[in-house]
Chain A
Amino acid sequence: MSHIRKYRSLARTSLEITFVYRAGFVLNMIGTVFYVVAMFYLWQTIFLGNPGSLSGFTWPEMKAYLLVAFLLNSLLTWYDEWIMSQDIREGRVAVDLARPIDFQAARFAGAMGPVPFEFCSALAVGAIVATVFGGIALPADPVHAALFLVTCALATLVKFGIVYCVSMTAFWTTGIEGIVVSRIAIQNIFSGALIPLVFFPDVLRGIAAVLPFQAMISTPALTYLGKLDGPTTLFMIGVQAFWAIGLAIAGRLMWRRAVRAVTINGG
């Protein structure tokens, strides 16, 4: 039981830090809000010129899709990567190594702490945007709404897995900035954050299907809208779970290798 307490207090501390140093959070929010508003105008114009549906999406559905993507993008920001990599670069991990805690679990607790705050802020901003643009499509039905929450939780686990692995590269590189930007660019294409994957040609969709990124946005958004049939939804949730676990293991392996590298450098 004391195990859980340790990590819970880490999560709480991390949330408090977010409140004190709002800079990273606000920066991320600003970056995405203008983008989302621009997207809303762009799609509004497109749907005005093409009434009905595009690739199976109506305008209210597209609005809902964009907001779900915005919401999920607001959780676990690049700020987490930055903090983790700074800890590694500046050697503060040495302190973590001496503590009776699991590094990955501690970082997970730290990343999860601010999530409720990030979620509520994004929801508030999203609600304003949705109201200005005349409402969005609601979840297909209560079952899909419940499944949507499950997919969101799994999507966040997958995102943490990726963010953690990317942070680990800080052990081997002198700067992580370029890697983080690359990660975000690739993720934006293949997660469906920029545009629903159904708009892409078969080749790109094929690549997206075998990458973990679609589990982060496409799956939750399509579940919300009820675009997938029952068995497919369950299969996609299974895929999310697969990536969540797989990436967590990959992160652990990277950490184990990295710690060896640290010993060499320091000794």
Chain B
Amino acid sequence: MAADVAAGTRSAAAARLVAARRLVYLYFRCLGQQMKAIMAYEANFIVLMFSAVLVQLAGLAFIWAIFQRIPDVNGWTFWQVVMMSALIFVTEGVGSLFFEGTWRLSYLVYTGQFDQMLVRPISPIVQVLAGAVGFNGLGNIVTGFVLIGIAMANVPVQWTPGRVLMLVILLVSAATIRVAINLASAASTFWIRSPWSMVPMFVHQLGDFAKYPITIYSVAVQALIVVAVPFAFVSFFPTAFVFGVEAWSLAGLLTPLVAIYAVVMAVWIFRVGLNRYESSGH
């Protein structure tokens, strides 16, 4: 009897694992189709990548010019601020390259094309995430990682295997938070019926605040990017942890938990919105 129950739970767990692997497989199959469509316009995607690199260089030139005149901003050094910017760019790159589809959701809902996703036997969230590829993301990821690498070389802390592992966990968590924020804000389209929902762009631009140390902002802005839309966990807290800034590094350890929280919230918001969805024309 007990053995049966144990076998039952084991097979249930195995079934869940198979289902999860299937979702990942389907996600990459969908994304692959989008990749092919983009690769057809080769010159275009090279220019897009190049443009992302230029945007980052402009941001870097700005930070660099400031730190030519002053040694630190509120105690934050040049490489720490570079790290924050680079984290914003890398996670944005991950969002564009792998999950650009969130930006198309409002258009799909508006035109009624979203209905197609509902009749397919694949989770609509997976289909939305895999719905488009933004090749500018590749430029962001590469340049961002180069900057993170250089910034890491300037970290005054001893590198241990544990610390390296933590850096990887922080990077994955930061990207996860970013994508979850994108998905949640894209879901706003279920409430606002317009081909151009402002909410995703509005939320996305809040990320601008997280390019700089949160200590420069008023309490209201801090609350906004720490609690309401946790961009501070994409850039600021991970940077504080990696650089061993004592006042803030402990909060950096919360980043993986915030990532889980952000994903749960995003999926929940998306599901609530989906329940409200009545195809266009109703």
Interface residues of A, Cβ cutoff 8 Å to B: 23, 26-27, 30-31, 33-35, 37-38, 41-42, 44-46, 49-50, 54-55, 173-175, 177-179, 181-182, 184-186, 188-189, 194-195, 199-201, 204
A185 and B68 within 8 A (CB): no
Provided the pairs A178-B50, A178-B51, A185-B54 are in contact, do residues A31 and B205 lie with their beta carbons within 8 angstroms? yes
Residues in A with CB closer than 8 Å to B198 are 23, 26-27, 30
Establish whether residues B47 and A27, one from each chain, have CB atoms under 8 Å apart when the complex forms: no
B41–A201 CB distance below 8 A: no
B159: interface (CB < 8 Å): no
Known: A23-B196, A27-B196, A30-B198. A38 touches B208 (CB 8 A): yes
Q: Which one, B51, B74, B205, contacts A185 given CB within 8 A?
A: B51
Question: Sorted from nearest, which 9 A-B pairs have the closest CB atoms?
Answer: A178-B47, A181-B51, A178-B48, A185-B54, A23-B196, A45-B216, A175-B44, A182-B51, A194-B62
Contacts known (A41-B217, A189-B61); A181 close to B205, Cβ less than 8 A: no
A-B contacts besides A50-B69, A199-B65, 9 pairs, CB < 8 Å: A27-B201, A33-B205, A46-B73, A54-B70, A173-B43, A174-B43, A181-B54, A199-B68, A200-B61
| Chain A positions within 8 Å of B172 at CB level | none
Q: Is B221 an interface residue (CB 8 A)?
A: yes
Q: How many residues of B contact A (CB 8 A)?
A: 42
Is B89 an interface residue when CB atoms closer than 8 A count as contact?
no
Q: A189 contacts B58, CB within 8 Å?
A: yes
CA distance A179 to B136 in the complex (A): 12
* Contact residues of B between 24 and 55, Cβ < 8 Å to A: 41, 43-45, 47-52, 54-55
- The chain B residue with its CB closest to the CB of A199 is B65
Q: How far is the CB of B253 from chain A (nearest CB, A)?
A: 26
Interface of B is mostly: helix
B52 touches A181 (CB 8 A): yes
Q: Tell whether B150 is near chain A: CB-to-CB under 8 Å.
A: no
* Given contact pairs A23-B198, A27-B201, A173-B43, A195 touches B58 in the complex (Cβ within 8 A): no
The reply to whether B44 and A34 form a contact with Cβ atoms under 8 Å apart is no
**A contact residues around B209 at 8 Å (CB):** 34, 37-38
List the B residue with the shortest CB-CB distance to A45.
B216
B206 at the binding interface (Cβ < 8 Å): yes
